[in-house]
Amino acid sequence: MKIDVTSLFNRRAVNRYERVSVGDVMERVTWSFPDKEALIAWEGACAGEGTRRVTYRQADLMANQFANALLERGLKRGDRVLFYCASSVEFFLAQIGAAKAGLVAVPLNVMIAIDLLDYVIKHTGPKFLVVDAELYPRGEKVFRENGLEVGVTIPIGGEVVQGSKSFAEFIGSQPKSEPEVEIHGDDIFQILFTAGTTALPKGVMHSHIYMYFCAIGWAMSHGRGVMTETDVRAGVFYPIFHIACQGMTYAALLSGGTALIARRPDPQVMIEAIDREKITWIFGSPADYYRIADIIEQNPGKYDLGSFKTAGYGWGAFRPDYDKKLRKIFGRDLLVIGNDGQTECVYDNRMWHHMWYEKYEKNEPAVNYLGVPHPFYATTVLDDNGSICPPGVMGHKVMRSPVMMAGYYKNEEATREAFEHGWFHGGDAAMYDEDGLMIMVDRYKDIIKSGGENVSSLRVEQVIRMHPKVANAAVIGMPHERWLEAVTACVIPKPGENPTEEELIAYCREKLAGYETPKKVVFMDKFPETVGGKIQKYILRKELQDLYRDKK
């Protein structure tokens, strides 16, 4: 044991009694509520009855066993463990185990393209591989070509990969004691890859401190409406290889509450989980909540919904008419809260509907309000020279926070670029309104320069999506002799609907300025997307590059 009672700076917390470690999240609660359920698996999100409902004591001991098994294999502090898994209780416990062992988890988006899977393996050099049985065949060839053997299989949707052990077998004979390893709060416990739309994904380095502050921040804003923090029951429906759902899972556990893990997002499942498991908080997209409201309205009295207190959402603006529907269904005190952030720094801004309801009701979804920063964050808008922009002037949305990545793994150039002027630049264009509320304008690369005006493709998309015949929309700027870039709408109609170009353009004219209104509408069956579900607009631009050729 190292004890230093003299130094007042450059100290490192190395002793277990004072350290910050993601691996300690479960253990700390065993001293208050050891037999309380920590994790619940929805159907398909566990490999057997032993992990369907797991208490804090059971979860901590299984994570200890996983950690000891990794160390027995010869892995050392800082070695990378690659996870090719969809959401499950075993997946989450294995990540906790890796953290307890002082190792670095590399959770992959399971939809990652095969060439990018090969890139990530070569970039991170993992020493151990954990896979889902149902996913392994997709990546098998790449794993073999890189000499990466499967160490553990989570047998969901298939059999244990030959030569590996199941999660249960891997931990079965291991001691349940906490491994004796040195861990510092600023050690990297995870490398999480971005879903880039134009370049290779970047490995975002998360420290133990990052995740603690991230989780506490989520808990502060979303653990509302319950008697004590331990009454929080979070429904985690989006993948836990995404930072938002990691944050909310750890938030529930740091509160001494319960996290329900589902295999994939489904509004019907979200409703059933609220009904059966008394979920108090979920996180989803605006579209998820629209569908939730519609299903409940179509089935009056079918579900017990009294437990639900907090509707957290991201990835876009929220229609006021559905806010009203949700409050009618769940009660006027329902907290509807918009979140903004990204893998590198999540989540930095909060938009409470009730706090600025008149402004919200009047302007959204055409205007996407981000609200104000979380107390853990300094967030502002800078111009290209690093000066703060006045209200109404678009600039770079930037952040400072302890919830901040350490950098992009093995990419110093991109890291230096991201932290220009001493702030993190996430690539978003934003502005402040006259009351100091931040507004998302667009991704910088998606701002359209049309006829001397800046057009937010995001704003135009939000308006088009409000049309009753439209399922989704992507707006891009295409080369045009007169306009420089012509505002162009790519639209996916709702099933059974056949909107015309003329009616959609007329609809936009009623709600948008002339320079914002699309010059053309192109109807499509689907959009090209990244593994993270983001529309790949550069592919749309390439496909439509001749759309305005020789047209004035």
Assess contact for 536 and 529: CB atoms under 8 A. Answer: yes
pLDDT for res 551: 54
User: Quick one: 456 and 432 in the same domain?
Assistant: no
Assess contact for 425 and 462: CB atoms under 8 A. Answer: no
Residue 405: inside a domain: yes
Q: What is the pLDDT of residues 161-176, one digit of tens each?
A: 999 999 999 999 999 9
DSSP secondary structure code for residue 522 in this structure: E
The alpha carbon of 517 is separated from its chain's Cα centroid by a whole number of angstroms, namely 31
pLDDT for res 195: 66
Task: Kindly state the helix (H) or strand (E) to which residue 300 belongs, with its residue range.
Answer: none
pLDDT for res 165: 98
Burial class (CB in 10 A: 0-12, 13-18, 19+), 302: exposed
User: Quick one: 165 and 80 in the same domain?
Assistant: yes
Whole-angstrom Cα distance, residue 118 to residue 105?
Answer: 17
pLDDT for res 552: 47
Q: To the nearest whole number, what is the mean pLDDT of the chain?
A: 93
Residue 246: inside a domain: yes
User: Quick one: 237 and 93 in the same domain?
Assistant: no
Q: Is the pLDDT of residue 531 over 60?
A: no
Residue 190: inside a domain: no
pLDDT for res 533: 65
Residue 175: inside a domain: yes
User: Quick one: 464 and 368 in the same domain?
Assistant: no
User: Quick one: 383 and 292 in the same domain?
Assistant: yes
User: Quick one: 440 and 452 in the same domain?
Assistant: no
User: Quick one: 172 and 223 in the same domain?
Assistant: no
Q: Return the residue matching tokens 């070509």.
A: 145
User: Quick one: 452 and 439 in the same domain?
Assistant: no
Q: What is the pLDDT of residues 321-353, one digit of tens each?
A: 999 999 999 999 999 999 998 999 998 999 999
User: Quick one: 480 and 352 in the same domain?
Assistant: no
Q: What is the pLDDT of residues 91-132, one digit of tens each?
A: 999 999 999 999 999 999 888 878 889 999 999 999 999 999
Q: Of all residues in the chain, what percent carry a pLDDT higher than 90?
A: 80
More confident residue, 250 or 201: 250
Residue 255: inside a domain: yes
End of a domain among 384, 409, 444?
444
Whole-angstrom Cα distance, residue 259 to residue 265?
Answer: 15
User: Quick one: 394 and 497 in the same domain?
Assistant: no
Q: What is the pLDDT of residues 392-433, one digit of tens each?
A: 999 999 999 999 999 999 999 999 999 999 999 998 999 999
User: Quick one: 228 and 320 in the same domain?
Assistant: yes
DSSP secondary structure code for residue 112 in this structure: -
Assign residue 259 the CATH number of its domain.
3.40.50.12780
Nearest one of 249, 212, 235, 213 to 311, comparing CA atoms: 235
Assign residue 102 the CATH number of its domain.
3.40.50.980
Least confident range from 191-195, 463-467, 470-474, 533-537: namely 533-537
Q: Of all residues in the chain, what percent carry a pLDDT higher than 70?
A: 98
More confident residue, 205 or 532: 205
Least confident range from 371-375, 427-431, 442-446, 484-488: namely 442-446
Q: What are the two backbone dihedrals, phi and then psi, of residue 295, each rounded to the nearest 5 degrees? A: -65, -45
One-character DSSP codes across 366-429: TSEEEEEE-TT-EEEEE-TTSPBPPTT--EEEEEE-SS----BTT-HHHHHHHTGGGSEEEEEE
End of a domain among 413, 444, 475?
444
Least confident range from 479-483, 502-506, 525-529: namely 479-483
Q: Return the residue matching tokens 């502060």.
A: 220
Domain count, the chain: 3
End of a domain among 183, 200, 225?
183
Q: Is the pLDDT of residue 199 over 70?
A: no
User: Quick one: 429 and 457 in the same domain?
Assistant: no
Residue 279: inside a domain: yes
Q: What are the two backbone dihedrals, phi and then psi, of residue 381, each rounded to the nearest 5 degrees? A: -125, 125
Give the tokens for residue 203: 């490995």
What is the domain range of residue 469?
448-543
Whole-angstrom Cα distance, residue 248 to residue 279?
Answer: 13
